[in-house]
């Protein structure tokens, strides 16, 4: 029999990466918050790779951190390897990525949740969200417990109608063997909420004791101190290696010979999978000309022998998985601990949501994470903190908070979802951001900490540290813009020669000098006119500000031009296939949707800012060509 189990301000369904940030944000803003998880062992679960960060994703993690979120701090505390990616490229696309100890990460997050004031964490399977007309009133669990609240945040990940598929075997399940939620999606559909079926997958986990690492290439982490959180410092952490190997023609033949047993190609899998993280069988078919694919072996933690086989996501039968793994160099005698699998699940069509992540038709009903059609822990956390903030502010009678595309990757992510929608699991990419030179991971605190402070999530300690860093950056910029170096400075001239840069002939400022491409922030210390101690992160920020000052100004001008072009009409008879420079994915989406304006085209999922620039150039060239062909001296009749 149903029974009343308590009243709350905010109820969060799910304690994955979205649910955690949502629950913590609501509780920290003063709301009595209930977080319900299908299992205490599922809190902060990493059902896919045991890693956080990467291009675009690290930007989200640092933005969540700057707003007062938790993911970055917990990642730093449980990291077993960390690397800075894309160091050979510009700072806009550089990205931190860490290997996490997945069990320690879970334990760390569980501790945070259980000790958070105003937050109540309970194990329960939610089977129904209680609606009254066009608003939410609470939830009912499998045991009949009814919890009441004016705000409910759905952060159920891949659990809604979850079905695990391994070859010709499939069964109802959430990730990693946890219970699925089968009744809840049916109830949501009956209430008129639009849902779609997506699919994701994961590779096998193997026993490291059966791996020949001598046949692989070692991938070490960086030795220097690197952190996701702007609050982290002086943490003693291990540096555990990952390992690189490759598939080969034998591997590919095994896969091709068994495609008839693949549920991906036999039609067993109905859900749409992620384009940017295809299964190995999909890669072998789509890229038939490639002789090999990278395979990374990543440790799952310090206290386990399990290793994650990155690049080998699959839903092939277990015997085929073992055969193809053993065809790879270094894995000839490998043993599978857990087979790879695909999982299908229901998720909401995100265009039903406001940018606050509240449902347009149901007051008080928010959703965040993979249930909104995204992939990735980082995308989930970013949505979670936004849903938690706005859920709490709704209860408190305060104005909602949204993020513009020009101020945060969080804004890019949510705008893409609610404006463009997605017909496949969405993944953040640096190429999705028109303003990526402004939205770097290194300046996330400078962009968002003030906003987090106004919201109420940034602590006094964090804010004081932010103000100190901001002041140091401003002072150092001022000093370098004012201090001049003369040709007589032998120390500077010797450094320039050593770096292959032309010696200076006239007096210039240090700011002008540091704009030279041969110099970077590591050279600043050698050039400084005094012994003033400046932290490395401050020096790096100063160098970026100076080095890319011109590019940033140019991008701001381009942004203004782009905004003016948003309402420009696109001819109905345009053929996108004939426009050179458009990516295949963009051509497919544009031909399907046939947008009427550039603004509409820019909001289509899968059409990048670069694609829009290509179309703009094409339209301008066409306009000039048509104008030349107009009679009456170029004047239109």
Other CB atoms within a 10 A radius of the CB of residue 587 amount to 18
Whether 632 shows a pLDDT value over 60: the answer reads no
Residues 24-76: tens digit of each pLDDT: 999 999 999 999 999 999 999 999 999 999 999 999 999 999 999 999 999 99
Task: Give residue 471's pLDDT.
Answer: 96
**Domain final residue, candidates 392, 422, 449:** 449
601-607-612 Cα angle (round to 5):
60
For residue 483, being part of any structural domain is answered with yes
| Residue 561: pLDDT over 90 | no
**DSSP E strand stretches across 423-552:** 484-485, 508-509
| The pLDDT value given to residue 268 | 82
Q: How confident is the model at residue 562 (pLDDT cuts 50, 70, 90)?
A: low
pLDDT of residue 588: 84
Rama region for 142: left / alpha / beta (φ>0; ψ in -120 to 50; rest):
alpha
CB 15 within 8 A of CB 123: no
SS (H, E, C) 498-520: HCCCCCCCCCEEHHHHCCCCCCC
Average pLDDT on 470-493 reads 90
Handedness of CA 616, 617, 619, 623 (dihedral sign): positive
User: In a 10 Å sphere around its CB, with 0-12 CB exposed, 13-18 middle and 19+ buried, how is residue 432 labelled?
Assistant: buried
- The b-or-e profile of 401-428 (16+ CB within 10 A means b, else e) is bbbebbbbbbbbbbbbbbbbbbbbbbbb
Q: Is residue 187 exposed (0-12), middle (13-18) or buried (19+ Cβ within 10 Å)?
A: middle
Q: Could you tell me the two tokens for 439? A: 């939205």
Per-residue pLDDT tens for 222-262? 998 999 999 999 999 999 999 999 999 999 999 999 999 99
Same domain, 93 and 126: yes
CA neighbours within 13 Å on the CB side: how many for 362? 25
Reported as half-sphere exposure (CB side, CA atoms, 13 A), residue 156 has a value of 29
Tens digit of each residue's pLDDT (9 = 90 or more) over 370-389: 999 999 999 999 999 999 99
Question: Within a domain: residue 490?
Answer: yes
Residue 499 inside a domain? The answer is yes
Q: How confident is the model at residue 20 (pLDDT cuts 50, 70, 90)?
A: very high
Q: Say what the pLDDT of residue 376 is.
A: 94
The verdict on 588 and 546 lying in the same domain is no
* Among the listed residues 163, 201, 154, the one whose alpha carbon sits nearest the alpha carbon of residue 18: 154
Q: Which pLDDT band holds residue 364 (cuts at 50, 70, 90)? A: very high
On whether both 71 and 179 belong to a single domain, the answer is yes
- Burial class of residue 16 (count of CB atoms within 10 Å of its CB; 0-12, 13-18, 19+): buried
Residue 389 lies in a domain: yes
| pLDDT, tens digit (0-9, with 9 covering 90-100), for 338-359 | 999 999 999 999 988 988 999 9
Give percent of the chain above pLDDT 90: 69
Instruction: Look up the CATH number of the domain holding residue 304.
Output: 2.40.30.260
**Are 327 and 388 in a shared domain?**
no
Same domain, 327 and 371: no
Q: Looking at the predicted structure, is the pLDDT value of residue 407 above 70? A: yes
The tokens of 342 are what? 């695909």
100, 300 contact by CB (below 8 A): no
To the nearest 10 degrees (0 to 180), the angle between helices 17-28 and 377-395 is 30
CATH number (domain holding residue 535): 1.10.10.1800
Both 65 and 190 in one domain: the answer is yes
Give the CA distances from residue 94 to residues 42, 90, 210, 441, 611, in Å, rounded to whole numbers and listed in that order.
31, 7, 35, 8, 22
Question: Is the C-alpha dihedral spanning 157, 147, 40, 120 positive or negative?
Answer: positive
Domain boundary among 416, 449, 482: 449
Contacts of 252 (CB under 8 A, 6+ apart): 284
Q: What CATH number does the domain containing 430 carry? A: 3.50.50.60
Q: Which residues contact 578 (CB under 8 A, 6 or more apart)?
A: none
| CB-CB contact of 77 with 23 (8 Å) | no
Residues 337 and 431 in one domain: no
User: What residues form DSSP beta bridges with 153?
Assistant: 12, 366
pLDDT band at 337 (very low <50, low <70, confident <90, very high): very high
Tokens at residue 498, please? Answer: 């050593």
DSSP 8-state secondary structure symbol assigned to residue 637? -
pLDDT (tens digit, 9 = 90+) per residue, 150-191? 999 999 999 999 999 999 999 999 998 999 999 999 999 999
The whole-angstrom separation of Cα 21 and Cα 111 is 14
Instruction: Please say if the pLDDT value at position 635 is more than 60.
Output: no
- Kindly indicate the confidence band of residue 637, based on its pLDDT and cuts at 50, 70 and 90: very low
Residue 335 and residue 375 in one domain: no
> Same structural domain for residues 354 and 482?
no
Helices (H) and strands (E) in the chain, counts: 21, 24
Same domain membership, residue 145 and residue 8: yes
Alpha carbons 392 and 362: distance in angstroms, whole number? 16
Q: What does the alpha-carbon distance between residue 164 and residue 174 come to, in Å, rounded to a whole number?
A: 7
Are 214 and 250 in the same domain? yes
Beta strands 151-154; 10-13: pairing state = parallel
Crossing angle of helices 102-114 and 17-28, in 10° steps, is 30
Angle at 80 between CA 74 and CA 86, to 5 degrees: 90
Given CA atoms 13, 19, 20, 25 in this order, what sign does their dihedral have? negative
Q: Which of 552, 583, 617 is the last residue of a domain?
A: 552
For residue 425, being part of any structural domain is answered with yes
- Same domain? For 604 and 473 the reply is no
Beta bridge partner(s), residue 294: 246
Mean residue pLDDT across the chain: 91
Q: How many residues in the chain?
A: 637
Q: Does the pLDDT at position 633 exceed 60? A: no
With respect to residue 559, please indicate whether it lies within any of the assigned structural domains. Answer: no
Q: Distance between CA 387 and CA 18 in Å, rounded?
A: 9
Are 217 and 243 within 8 A, CB to CB? yes
Domain count, the chain: 4
Q: Is residue 323 part of a domain?
A: yes
Domain that holds residue 547: 467-552
Is the per-residue pLDDT at 529 higher than 80? Answer: no
- Within-domain flag for 557: no
CATH number at residue 622: 1.10.150.570
Q: Is the pLDDT of residue 598 over 50?
A: yes
């Amino acid at each position: 029999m149903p029974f009343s189990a308590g009243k709350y301000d905010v109820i969060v369904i799910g304690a994955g990466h979205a649910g955690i940030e949502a629950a913590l944000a609501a509780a920290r803003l003063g709301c009595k918050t209930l977080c319900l998880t299908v299992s205490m062992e599922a809190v902060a679960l990493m059902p896919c790779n045991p890693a956080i960060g990467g291009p675009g994703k690290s930007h989200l993690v640092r933005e969540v951190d700057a707003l007062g979120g938790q993911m970055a701090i917990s990642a730093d505390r449980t990291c077993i390897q960390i690397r800075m990616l894309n160091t050979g490229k510009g700072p806009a696309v550089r990205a931190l990525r860490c290997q996490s100890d997945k069990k320690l990460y879970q334990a760390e997050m569980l501790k945070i949740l259980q000790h958070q004031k105003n937050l109540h964490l309970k194990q329960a399977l939610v089977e129904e969200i209680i609606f009254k007309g066009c608003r939410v009133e609470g939830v009912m669990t499998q045991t009949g417990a009814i919890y009441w609240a004016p705000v409910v945040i759905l952060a159920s990940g891949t659990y809604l109608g979850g079905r695990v598929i391994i070859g010709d075997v499939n069964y109802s399940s959430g990730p990693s063997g946890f219970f699925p939620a089968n009744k809840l999606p049916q109830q949501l559909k009956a209430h008129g909420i639009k849902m779609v079926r997506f699919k994701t997958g994961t590779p096998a986990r193997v026993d490291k004791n059966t791996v020949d690492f001598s046949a692989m290439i070692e991938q070490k982490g960086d030795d220097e101190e690197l952190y996701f959180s702007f609050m982290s410092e002086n943490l003693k952490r291990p540096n555990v290696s990952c390992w690189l190997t490759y598939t080969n023609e034998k591997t590919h033949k095994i896969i091709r010979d068994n495609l008839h047993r693949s549920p991906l190609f036999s039609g067993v899998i109905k859900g749409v999978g992620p384009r940017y993280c295809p299964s190995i069988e999909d890669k072998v078919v789509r890229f038939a000309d490639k002789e090999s694919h990278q395979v990374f072996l990543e440790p799952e933690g310090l206290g386990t022998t399990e290793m994650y086989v990155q690049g080998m996501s699959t839903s092939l039968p277990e015997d085929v998985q073992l055969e193809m793994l053993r065809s790879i160099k270094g894995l000839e005698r490998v043993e599978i601990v857990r087979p790879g699998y695909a999982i299908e699940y229901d998720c909401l069509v995100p265009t039903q949501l406001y940018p606050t992540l509240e449902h347009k038709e149901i007051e008080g009903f928010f959703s965040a994470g993979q249930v909104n059609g995204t992939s990735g822990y980082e995308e989930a956390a970013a949505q979670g903190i936004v849903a938690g903030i706005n859920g709490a502010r709704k209860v408190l009678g305060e104005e909602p908070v949204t993020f513009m595309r020009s101020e945060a990757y969080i804004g890019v992510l949510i705008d893409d979802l609610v404006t463009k929608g997605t017909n496949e699991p969405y993944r953040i990419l640096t190429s999705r951001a028109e303003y990526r030179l402004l939205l770097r991971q290194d300046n996330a605190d400078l962009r968002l900490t003030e906003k987090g402070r106004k919201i109420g999530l940034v602590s006094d300690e964090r804010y004081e540290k932010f103000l100190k860093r901001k002041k140091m950056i401003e002072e150092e910029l001022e000093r370098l813009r004012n201090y001049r170096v003369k040709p007589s400075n032998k120390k500077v001239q010797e450094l320039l020669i050593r770096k292959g840069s032309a010696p200076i002939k006239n007096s210039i400022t240090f700011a002008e000098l540091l704009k030279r491409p041969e110099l970077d922030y590591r050279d600043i210390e050698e050039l400084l006119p005094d012994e003033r101690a400046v932290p490395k992160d401050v020096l790096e920020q100063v160098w970026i500000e100076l080095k890319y000052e011109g590019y940033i100004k140019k991008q701001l001008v381009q942004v203004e031009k782009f905004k003016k072009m948003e309402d420009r009409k696109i001819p109905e008879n345009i053929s996108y296939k004939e426009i050179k420079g458009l990516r295949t994915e963009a051509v497919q989406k544009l031909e399907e949707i046939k947008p009427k304006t550039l603004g509409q085209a820019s909001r289509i999922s899968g059409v990048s800012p670069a694609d829009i620039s290509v179309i703009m150039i094409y339209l301008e060239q066409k306009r000039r060509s048509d104008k030349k062909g107009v009679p009456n001296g170029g004047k239109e009749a």
